[in-house]
Structure 1
Amino acid sequence: MSIPTIVAQRPVIADDKQLTVSTIRIAANYYETVIFDDSSDKRHDGWRIGGYAIDQSSKRAPSRDEAMEQHREALYAARTETPRA
């Protein structure tokens, strides 16, 4: 088994949001995208944004192209949506 590799990682800092959208390659044909709460008080931990539970859920993709599309969608959601409990 190989060590996970970061494929794309982008911070989102706006208003009261401090998030990171990260996509990693776990293995061949296995990628995961997740949204992390980078705020010091973890104020959005477990809240939902763009179909993700912040710090708690991920979306899988079988190819790099699909993973990058998920990453773009998650990044757009993190930039434009307000996290909700």
Structure 2
Amino acid sequence: MNAPRTVARRSVIAGGKELTVSTIRIAADYYDTVIFDDSADKRHRGMLLGGYVIDKSSKRATDREAGMENHREALLAARRETPKRLR
């Protein structure tokens, strides 16, 4: 099996957030998208944003098109939404 390969990675610095949205290809037709907290104090780690728990959860897709759609949606959420604490 080949090592995972990054297919898309974008940094978002906006509204007090320092995040990275990353999508990797794990295997043929298997893509995983994650939002990472890049702030020095990790203030958003474990918070909910766009259906993701920052630094803890991911969304999977079974083809490149769906993987890139997950990436676009996560990127928009990172730019526009405010992270929320889990209850």
Hey, what does 1:53 align to over in structure 2? 53
How far apart, in 1, do the equivalents of 2:31 and 2:44 lie?
24
Instruction: Return 5+ residue gaps in structure 2 as ranges.
Output: none
Q: Percent identity?
A: 67
After superposing on structure 2, the runs of 4+ consecutive aligned residues of structure 1 that deviate more than 4 Å are none
| TM-score, length-scaled by structure 1 | 0.98
Q: Does 1:18 align with 2:21?
A: no
Instruction: Please give the root-mean-square deviation of Cα atoms over the aligned residues, in Å.
Output: 0.5
Q: Does 1:5 align with 2:5?
A: yes
The number of residues matched between the two structures is 85
Instruction: Return 5+ residue gaps in structure 1 as ranges.
Output: none
How far apart, in 2, do the equivalents of 1:60 and 1:13 lie?
24
Hey, what does 2:33 align to over in structure 1? 33
